Amino acid sequence: MSHARLQNGERIHLVDAKGRHYAVTLKAGDLYQLSGHKIAHDALIDKADGSIVTLSGGKSMLAVRPTFGDYVVKMPRGAQVLYPKDLALIPMWADIYPGARVFEAGTGSGALTMALLRAVGPRGLVVTYEAREDFARTARLNIERYMGAVPNLVALRNNAYEGIQLLEDGVPFDRVVLDLPEPWQVVPHAARVLRSGGIYLSFVPTVPQVQQTVVALQHAAVFAMVETFETLLRTWSVQGRSVRPDHRMVAHSGFLTVARKVESGFWSRGTTPSGPEEDGSAEPAEENGKDET
Ligand SMILES: C[S@@+](CC[C@H](N)C(=O)[O-])C[C@H]1O[C@@H](n2cnc3c(N)ncnc32)[C@H](O)[C@@H]1O
């Protein structure tokens, strides 16, 4: 969306003085109401992104085009969406690059799909599987409302546990990115459809899921450089001389596990999925058989 002014038909956010967001899809002739305060959509259409607007009763709000993070938090959802902090990290740790060919499952509400589409750009491709028809439909609407038509998205109602099909051209995927309950069921399929040097990434909320995933990666024998981590985002309150962390935060979302598809057999040469066997400490390069020079 590149217009400087808010357009009829687009979804915008009205933001109040406390920073709360209210989503509105602009439709000429309609009236927006918020706790008895009203404003005609016509008074919002063609306003500059970031304008102050006044509702009946003198209530001032900001009219903005939502950022991608704002949008995913407020968009209609079937499945639980990923938080912006994870949506920001996944393209970096899965190394999603312009032009990449990415496999994703499950589509859910489409938040991660959009993050992937933004990262691969128009020359890239995202193939996404979703097991549920209703979620697939919600995702398609969410994606098209924010991004418009996306010819480089192939969205299929398939069960990723049963397998991953290459497209007709038979070209393997550069990246596999998973947000579904049992990624270990997809690991053998990922091993087959990823190109050598490709990257696997999965997101799961609990420790047993991480453990099963890493064991599956080990058994597949073609993955190395396996890392698991989580991130915490702590916001701060900055008011005059009172500068401190906010009292509340989202303390947990999930764990990311990342691995690299490589030539088979690397782990059987005295290496382990998470590093040196004895004490789990970082380095030493020699034990991993790596040459740092
Ligand atoms: C947590 S949601 C994904 C949310 C998504 N990443 C987003 O940001 O909107 C998990 C999704 O995986 C789907 N799913 C579960 N098992 C699946 C499978 N075997 N194949 C395809 N999709 C599956 C579920 O229906 C659900 O929509």
Question: What average pLDDT does the structure give for the chain?
Answer: 92
pLDDT recorded at residue 268: 61
Tell me, in angstroms, the distance from the centre of ligand 1 to residue 163's CA.
Answer: 15
pLDDT recorded at residue 78: 83
Tell me, in angstroms, the distance from the centre of ligand 1 to residue 80's CA.
Answer: 9
Domain segments of the chain: what residues?
11-66, 76-261
CA dist 274 and 213 (Å) reads: 12
Does a cis peptide bond (omega within 30 degrees of 0) precede residue 99? no
pLDDT recorded at residue 48: 97
Contacts 24+ apart (CB under 8 A), 70-73: 70/13, 70/21, 71/11, 71/146, 72/109, 72/111, 72/114, 73/21
Does residue 183's CB lie within 6 angstroms of at least one atom of ligand 1? no
Ligand 1 nearest-atom number relative to CA 135? 27
pLDDT surpasses 50 at 119 = yes
pLDDT digits over 59-78, tens only?
999 999 999 999 999 998 88
For the domain made up of 76-261, give the CATH fold: Rossmann fold (3.40.50)
Does residue 81's CB lie within 6 angstroms of at least one atom of ligand 1? yes
Q: In the numeric block, which tokens belong to residue 190?
A: 């990922």
Q: DSSP character for 57?
A: G
Tell me, in angstroms, the distance from the centre of ligand 1 to residue 33's CA.
Answer: 34
Ligand 1 nearest-atom number relative to CA 107? 5
Beta bridge partners of 177: 104, 201
Does residue 130's CB lie within 6 angstroms of at least one atom of ligand 1? yes
pLDDT digits over 21-50, tens only?
999 999 999 999 999 999 999 999 999 999
Ligand 1 nearest-atom number relative to CA 109? 9
Which residue's CA is minimally distant from atom 15 of ligand 1?
180
CA dist 264 and 257 (Å) reads: 19
pLDDT recorded at residue 63: 98
Does residue 132's CB lie within 6 angstroms of at least one atom of ligand 1? yes
CA dist 184 and 211 (Å) reads: 9
Q: Are 100 and 176 contacting, i.e. CB atoms less than 8 angstroms apart?
A: no
Which residue, among 5, 105, 98, 96, has the nearest Cα to 50 in the 3D structure?
5
**What pTM did the predictor assign?**
0.90
pLDDT surpasses 70 at 292 = no
Q: Are 48 and 4 contacting, i.e. CB atoms less than 8 angstroms apart?
A: yes
CA dist 239 and 102 (Å) reads: 43
Does residue 161's CB lie within 6 angstroms of at least one atom of ligand 1? yes
Tell me, in angstroms, the distance from the centre of ligand 1 to residue 187's CA.
Answer: 15
pLDDT digits over 153-204, tens only?
999 999 999 999 999 999 999 999 999 999 999 999 999 999 999 999 999 9
CA dist 63 and 32 (Å) reads: 12
How many other C-beta atoms lie within 10 A of the C-beta of residue 238? 9
pLDDT surpasses 60 at 281 = no
Report, at the CATH architecture level, how domain 11-66 is classified. Answer: Roll (3.10)
CA dist 252 and 232 (Å) reads: 7
Does residue 159's CB lie within 6 angstroms of at least one atom of ligand 1? yes
pLDDT recorded at residue 272: 53
In 3-state terms, what secondary structure has residue 250? coil
Does residue 108's CB lie within 6 angstroms of at least one atom of ligand 1? yes
Does residue 254's CB lie within 6 angstroms of at least one atom of ligand 1? no
pLDDT recorded at residue 279: 47
Q: Give the angle subtended at the CA of 15 by the CAs of 12 and 17, to the nearest 5°.
A: 170
User: What are the phi and psi torsion angles at 29 (to 5°)?
Assistant: 95, -20
Ligand 1 nearest-atom number relative to CA 110? 9
Does residue 112's CB lie within 6 angstroms of at least one atom of ligand 1? yes
